[in-house]
Structure formats: structure tokens, C-alpha cells
Amino acid sequence: MVTEATRAAIDRVPVRYLRTSRHPSASLVEPATALDHLYDAADRQSEVYPAIVEVVVAAAVEHGEVLYAVPGSPLVAERSVTLLLADERVRVEVVPALSFLDLAWVRLGVDPLAEGVRVVDGHEFAVQAAGERGPLLVSHCHEPGVLSDIKLAIEGDLDGADPAAPVTVLQRLGLPDESITEVAWADLDRAIVPDHLTSLYIPRLAAPVAVELVRFAELVRTLREQCPWDREQTHTSLRRYALEETYEVLEAIDRLDEDDAATIAHLEEELGDLLFQVYFHATIAAQSGWFTLADVARGIHDKLRSRHPHVFGDVVVEGAGEVVQNWEAIKRAEKGRTSAFDGIPSTLPALLYADEVVRKARSIGVEPDVGAADLGDRLLALVVEARAAGVDPEHALRSRVERFRAAAGERELESG
């Protein structure tokens, strides 16, 4: 599938460079200098192509003429060629060639003009596919991380919110071991072993690509890679910040006034700070090979779906009370817990901890004994009283302390 013009160029120019030797046609260019080491040395994909340009331009200046060979067509998803064409130091002659797209349309049975297919780079999926619903042909899907990022960028499931909807995976087109398979969208980054000849065809998206979430994930990764402080952090060192940001969200909720735009904006800001903690922990975990942000999202998605059988199944409930009962039963079955008290964090604030224990005890028909007269018993009795009245004791005490603080502050000003 290599054109005669390409063969003639290879034969004519003795100084040759290959963007990558990881391609079946690379052997036709030998002997040549492969530039795979630039991929291996770069921290980010965006650094590779300018580095390639510098090597090729320097060689052209030294030798007068060089051959730079890329897989497929030099003008289809080839960033390095685009940069070379814009470089004023060299004159570039492009020899047209067969693109992987030509094979893809044949194998898919798709007329790209009639269907309006958009071709995007897997590494830039979130940005290039922003606002698109498909159809999309996604190139450069050669790493599991790229497949994971593509999944993360999708705000809704394929074909009407069906997590089992398939996506077509194209691999090694035109070679004896070419593969065209359909996998469930949810299994994309688990069922496929990608290589340098892997692309995706996505016929339709139920919702546009969630560009903001992926842009944020990319920013967190960049901070982790380039900021000295962020590089040093661990799950343990970030513990205090997760706690602080949680309390700041709670404070923003306590001060929320639906008629006050400033308090609404403040809640939005604090939720963003808390979201950063989630992304940061997931990024550290991904670097350790434990799990990715996509795994976190998938896990909570599946958990919430399984714990709402009255929404996603055929269970019928009578009011919110039964919803809570079902939730607790499903949770205990999932976790394999033998006690109603398993899973209550002992690190909760004391009032909230007491409230949770009382709630769990009552769910199994046990009432706390608060007959004694020591301080602990009296405090527990107040928690029991609050739960009987439907009052959150933590919130009640905090609100009262806030009012006392404000009043004391006013008196302080008067006396000062």
C-alpha cells in the first residue's frame, strides 16, 4: 500500500529519518534514524513534535536534503509535518500517501462526507471533540491511558445512556492480523490492548464531550508533574486539606442564601476546591498504578445505580423511609458486614458520631441507656432527644454557637 512516488523518494534520498519504527512499513525506509527515543524521553506528548522538528531541520541544514518518513498519509493527524511546513528554515515537499482513514472507511462501510465524520486525535480528544455528538473517528489510541481519558471525557453514555453500548475498535488495518471489534463502552480501557495502530469509531454520543472535566484533569496532572509542592504530596499529606475543604463546603452551605448571588458563587467555589482534592488523590493513585479517575467515577456510578433499585429496577417503595432501609440493606450485603455499626468512622466529630450510632442502634431496635447522670450520658441524652425531634444535633449546636459568637462580638465592640 506504499505508493510508487514514496518508493522513489526513499531510493533517491540517502539520509533518512523515521518518526517511529513501530510500524509495519518502517522496514521499507531502512537504513534510517528512528526518533522513537524522543517519545520515550518526553514527559508530555506535546513536547515530542517540536523536538522531532529540531532534529530533522538540523539534519537538513547539515546534509542539504533529508527524507522524513511517517506512517500513512503525511497530512492526516501528523503534527510534526504541520510544524515542518510552518518552519521557515526549510523547504518541505510532501509526498501524498495512503491514509489509515481510507482503510477505515472501507472496513466500516462509511462514507465520511455523507455521515459528517469528525477525525480527532486521541491525545487531544477532550478539546478537539468538545461539543460533538458524533460520529467520531479517534486516532492515536496507542496507550491504555488515552483510552481511559477518552472515556472520562464523555459526559453521557453512548446510545441513550446505555453503559453496555458498543464502540468499534480498529487495529492494524491492512495487515494480516487486522482486527475490527466491538466492545462495551464501559470496558474500553480494560478489554482492549492498544498498540500504535489502534483507532476508535464512535457513531453517536448521547451527550457532548465534557471538555471542562477533562481540561481540569489535565491541569491537575500538569501540576503533579511540574509543581515542586504538588510532586511531593501523598495521600497522607493531603489528608488535612481534604478535611479543611470539606468543612469549608459545609460553612458555605450554612451561609447559603438562595436570594444572594454572592453566597451561591461562594458555594460553587468551595465545591471546586473540594473537587480538586478528589482529582488530586485520583491522579496520585493513577501514577501508582492503583486506579484512575475514570475508575472512581465508574465505581460511584455503579454503586449508586445498584443502591437505587426503585429507580433503575423493579423495586417499589413507599416514601423516603423505605429508600433508606433498602439502602442500608444493600450496603450491608455489598460490604459483607455483620454489624449495623460497621462502617461508621470513629473520626467523625463527637456529636455526629453519637447521632450516627443512635440512628444505627434504633434501626435494629436498640434504645440507648441514658439514665445515669454523668456528663457523657447527659450529652448522649440530648442527641437522642434531637433525633426524636428530627433535629441534626451537630447543626443545632453549631448554629447556636454561631449566634452566641455574633452576640459576643457585638458586646465586645460595645465595650471596646
Note the pLDDT of residue 159: 44
* CA 25 – CA 35 distance, rounded (Å): 15
| Max avg pLDDT among 176-190, 334-348, 398-412 | 176-190
Q: Which of 77, 81, 31 is nearest to 57 (CA)?
A: 81
Residues forming beta bridges with residue 69, ordered by sequence position: 18
Domains defined along the chain, listed by start: 4-98 (no CATH), 101-209 (3.30.950.10), 228-301 (1.10.287.1080), 307-335 (no CATH), 339-410 (1.10.287.1080)
Mean pLDDT, the chain, whole residue set: 85
* CA 196 – CA 40 distance, rounded (Å): 14
Asked whether the predicted pLDDT for residue 155 surpasses 70, the reply is no
Q: What are phi and psi of 89, to 5 degrees?
A: -80, -20
pLDDT category of residue 415 using cuts at 50, 70 and 90: low
- DSSP result, 258-302: TT-HHHHHHHHHHHHHHHHHHHHHHHHHHHTTS--HHHHHHHHHH
Q: Name the more confident of 285 and 324.
A: 285
Residues 129 and 123 sit within 8 Å (Cβ to Cβ): no
Asked whether the predicted pLDDT for residue 89 surpasses 80, the reply is yes
DSSP-derived secondary structure letter, 141: -
In tens, the pLDDT along 199-215 reads 999 888 766 666 678 77
Asked whether the predicted pLDDT for residue 164 surpasses 60, the reply is no
* CA 172 – CA 264 distance, rounded (Å): 52
Q: Name the more confident of 224 and 126.
A: 224
* CA 297 – CA 299 distance, rounded (Å): 5
Residues forming beta bridges with residue 137, ordered by sequence position: 119, 201
Q: Within 10 Å of residue 126's Cβ, how many Cβ atoms? A: 23
169, 190, 211, 324 from 292: Cα distances, Å? 21, 12, 18, 30
Note the pLDDT of residue 336: 67
Note the pLDDT of residue 209: 61
Q: Which of 414, 396, 411, 311 is nearest to 354 (CA)?
A: 396
Asked whether the predicted pLDDT for residue 26 surpasses 70, the reply is yes
Rounded to an integer, the average pLDDT of 89-111 is 93
Q: Name the more confident of 333 and 254.
A: 254
Q: Name the more confident of 207 and 19.
A: 19
Contact partners, residue 374, CB within 8 Å, separation at least 6: none
- pTM for the structure as a whole: 0.52
Note the pLDDT of residue 232: 95
Note the pLDDT of residue 129: 80
Residues 351 and 380 sit within 8 Å (Cβ to Cβ): no
Rounded to an integer, the average pLDDT of 341-357 is 77
In tens, the pLDDT along 231-254 reads 999 999 999 899 899 989 998 998
- State percent of the chain over pLDDT 90: 38
pLDDT category of residue 157 using cuts at 50, 70 and 90: very low
The set of cell numbers assigned to 308 is 437505587
* CA 193 – CA 29 distance, rounded (Å): 27
* CA 113 – CA 124 distance, rounded (Å): 22
Note the pLDDT of residue 208: 63
Outline where DSSP puts E strands in 5-157. Answer: 16-18, 33-34, 67-69, 118-121, 136-139
pLDDT category of residue 64 using cuts at 50, 70 and 90: very high
* CA 414 – CA 416 distance, rounded (Å): 6
